[in-house]
Amino acid sequence: ASRFDGVTMAPPDPILGVSEAFKADNSDLKLNLGVGAYRTEELQPYVLKVVQKAESQMLKRGENKEYLPIEGLAAFNKATAELLFGTGNPVIQEKRVATVQGLSGTGSLRLAAAFIERYFPGAKVLISAPTWGNHKNIFNDARVPWSEYRYYDPKTVGLDFEGMISDLKAAPEGSFILLHGCAHNPTGIDPTPDQWAKIADVILEKNHFPFFDVAYQGFASGSLDEDASSVRLFAARGMELMVAQSYSKNLGLYAERIGAINVVCSSPDAAARVRSQLKRIARPMYSNPPMHGAKIVANIVGDPTLFNQWKDEMQMMAGRIKSVRQKLYDSLSAKDKSGKDWSFVLHQIGMFSFTGLNKAQSDNMTDKWHVYMTKDGRISLAGLSSAKCEYLADAIIDSFH
């Protein structure tokens, strides 16, 4: 007998569990389109050249490894807020942003969730249906109540804009509205600029609080500014808002766990108070954040040559994903004789494509074709090479019919 007899086996994580199943498959045909990590055309992991350069400079300088402050590296916090809002933005100039370094996107969201639980008890977070699977876990574990707003319309494989707006209108006043800043995960479907403006109208009208999750800045379109435009539109409306950031994808720093939580407040005084309370929550959870990734980001953003090199590499990564997206669409259109309209593949943005395959069809992709993907029908195009597009198209067409 063990005192842990009452501890049941937890189910595998729906996203990370896919990689475990992939590893166990011995077929030469196998393809891992589960986890969202960038791969080269040879399907190998990629360390950005600019990151290698920044790291070698850091090593040469022989920097020490003393603790960071609870709120993280000052140079990183400055760089990350400026990257998000733009250097000249009034929220920066007026010192109205409370920025605290977090354990990448997930840890920053979790810190924000703990803050909501403490200072807005009973307030609800509204999340899109569907959303990144971990959002629900984060709010559940932080004991923050949540419900869903309509987002994806299976009929059009597009945005259910009317449904979204009416659900935001129907939510209790002062709800937190979780929005994907760009490249919505898992659908790859973003609102247009006009739609963003209307979403902002409704949020203002209902006194809701916008809470952005920005995990793909610069990685979606190839442009840091374009991918931040939704957040900047809301900031320009004078709203208080919150933004979680991640450098996992755009700098390929997945395992370094580097990101931030930014809270835009209506006064510098409020920002100082919010920052102090975020620190108070962080201290007993993990004390202070890791330094390596923070220095990489700060050094790259702070050096014009490295910054430009980063932008080039980001465009290269975004470009490779766009080109396999095009090739997958071409292959699907050429091979499928059913007349199905595949153009939704081209309209989606970011590293994912939401295929519309249901669970049984996704199972067929894996069981028969050795294509590993999440069971909601999402495939990561970052894990696809142009050489494998035709094979994938065959698998998708077979699984649909």
**Residues tagged active-site:** 132, 213, 249
Rounded distance, CA 168 to CA 5, Å?
44
Nearer to ligand PMP, 106 or 175 (CB): 106
**In the complex with ligand PMP, which residue's Cβ is closer, 364 or 380?**
380
With a CB cutoff of 8 Å and minimum separation 6, the contacts of 59 are: none
Distance between CA 76 and CA 342 in Å, rounded? 42
| CB of 215 or CB of 349, closer to ligand PMP | 215
Least Å distance between CB 187 and ligand PMP? 11
Angle, CA of 346, 35 and 144, to the nearest 5°: 100
Least Cβ distance, residue 180 to ligand PMP (angstroms):
6
Give the x-and-dash track for 85-104 against ligand PMP (CB under 6 A). Answer: -------------------x
CB nearer to ligand PMP: give 178 or 332: 178
Q: How far does Cα 20 stand from its chain's mean position? A: 22
Q: Which of 101, 106, 128, 230 binds ligand PMP (CB under 6 A)?
A: 106
The strand ranges marked E within 192-257 are 209-214, 241-246
The residues near 372 (Cβ < 8 Å, ≥ 6 apart) are 18, 19, 21, 22, 25, 30, 31, 32, 33, 34, 366
Q: In the complex, what is the shortest distance from the CB of residue 376 to ligand PMP, in angstroms, rounded to a whole number?
A: 13
**Sole binder of ligand PMP in the list 38, 76, 115, 132 (CB under 6 A):** 132
The closest of 191, 195, 170, 171 to 180, measured between CA atoms, is: 191
Report the nearest approach of ligand PMP to the CB of residue 93 (Å). 28
Cβ within 8 Å of residue 213, ≥6 positions away: 105, 109, 132, 135, 178, 179, 180, 181, 243, 244
Residue 36 binds to ligand PMP (criterion: CB under 6 A): yes
Q: Name which position in 101, 246, 348, 353 contacts ligand PMP (CB under 6 A).
A: 246
Tell me which H or E stretch contains 290: none
Pick from 72, 130, 210, 259: which binds ligand PMP (CB under 6 A)? 259
| Residue nearest ligand PMP, CB atom distance | 105
Nearer to ligand PMP, 22 or 254 (CB): 254
Give the shortest CB-234-to-ligand PMP separation in angstroms. Answer: 17
Long-range contacts, 203-207 (Cβ 8 Å, 24+): 203/168, 203/177, 203/234, 203/239, 204/237, 204/239, 205/169, 206/168, 206/169, 206/171, 206/173, 206/174, 206/175, 207/173, 207/174
- Distance between terminal CA atoms of the chain? 50
**Minimum distance, C-beta of residue 217 to ligand PMP, in the bound complex (Å):** 11
Q: Which is nearer to ligand PMP, 13 or 201 (CB)?
A: 13
* Number of residues counted as binding ligand PMP (CB under 6 A): 13
Tell which positions 186-225 bind ligand PMP, by CB under 6 A: 213, 215
CB atoms within 10 A of CB 257: 21
Rounded-to-integer distance, Cα 40 and Cα 387, Å: 12
Choose between 188 and 259: whose C-beta lies nearer to ligand PMP: 259
**What is the phi/psi pair of residue 39, to 5°?**
-125, 155
Segments of 286-392 assigned E as strands: 352-354, 371-372, 378-380
Toward ligand PMP, which CB reaches closer, 254 or 344?
254
CB 191 to ligand PMP: min, Å: 15
277, HSE (Cβ side, Cα atoms, 13 Å): 15
Minimum Å gap between C-beta 83 and ligand PMP is 15
Q: Site residues (CB under 6 A) for ligand PMP?
A: 36, 104-106, 132, 180, 185, 213, 215, 246, 248, 254, 259
